[in-house]
Amino acid sequence: RMGRVWHSEPNNNLLFSLLIKDKELINKYNYLSLASACVILSVLNDLKINNVSIKWPNDVYVDGRKISGILLESISNNQELEVLIIGVGINVNQKQFNNDLIHPATSLYNELGKNFKIHRLKRIVYKRFIKTFKKIKKGDNSYLLIAKKNNFLLNKEIFAEIENEKKSVKVIDINDDNTLKVIVNGEEKNLNSGEITFHI
């Protein structure tokens, strides 16, 4: 997407999509990307992986290395969202990565030194997604506290592309509406994921 590629060795990683048709969840579209990253983070924490963080809005890092990425796509009809597709990639048993890339990667194997059964992990992740999305439907946004606490970008001064212009920004928070609060040119701004691209 946007010229970026997710590399995965065959049979070594967990790659799947969730098809969302539930209208209540579709109406909470802006929440689901960050909530999905929190799902992955919580699973990794349960596996006793340390130093897990979320790079807003949808990447999961371990010690600064990317272990999971999430994409949201929508299908519309007459300007009304009909379906959401959440694509998830988790590096599981892959050992070697091209870490000369801008975003170095890691995996469950590299962090814990053991292989995982992909289908078993898939069931664990899927159940956590269902549990989290049921909470969101009820108005429970407790995932946001997880995202704020584990914000990879917090207090970092980084380059970002805003309105097709590269600028230095400082990240100061994730807002309750899931937008990112930054300081740019001495001014506080709240940006959604479509308004900013990071160059870390």
Give DSSP secondary structure letters for 124-143: HHHHHHHHHHHHHHTT--TH
pLDDT at 174: 95
- Residue 76: per-residue pLDDT: 87
Q: Tell me which residue of 54, 84, 88 sits closest to 69, measured CA to CA.
A: 88
Confidence of residue 23 (pLDDT cuts 50, 70, 90): very high
| Model confidence pTM above 0.85 | yes
**pLDDT score recorded for residue 187:** 92
pLDDT of residue 4: 62
Euclidean distance between CA atoms 33 and 59, whole angstroms: 9
Distance CA 76, CA 151 (A): 31
Tokens of 54: 């979320």
Q: What are 133's two structure tokens?
A: 């999305």
pLDDT at residue number 41 = 98
φ and ψ at residue 158, rounded to 5 degrees: -135, 165
What is the average pLDDT across 17-30?
A: 93
Amino acid letter for position 96:
Q
Query: What was the pLDDT predicted at 102?
Result: 63
CA dihedral over 41, 42, 45, 49, signed as positive or negative = negative
Mind listing the pLDDT tens digit for each residue in 44-57?
Answer: 999 999 999 999 98
What average pLDDT does the structure give for the chain?
A: 90
Q: Tell whether the model's pLDDT for residue 40 goes beyond 90.
A: yes
User: What pLDDT sits at residue 168?
Assistant: 87
Question: What pLDDT is attached to residue 104?
Answer: 87
Q: What's the pLDDT tens digit per position in 84-133? A: 999 999 999 999 987 655 678 999 999 999 999 999 999 999 999 999 99
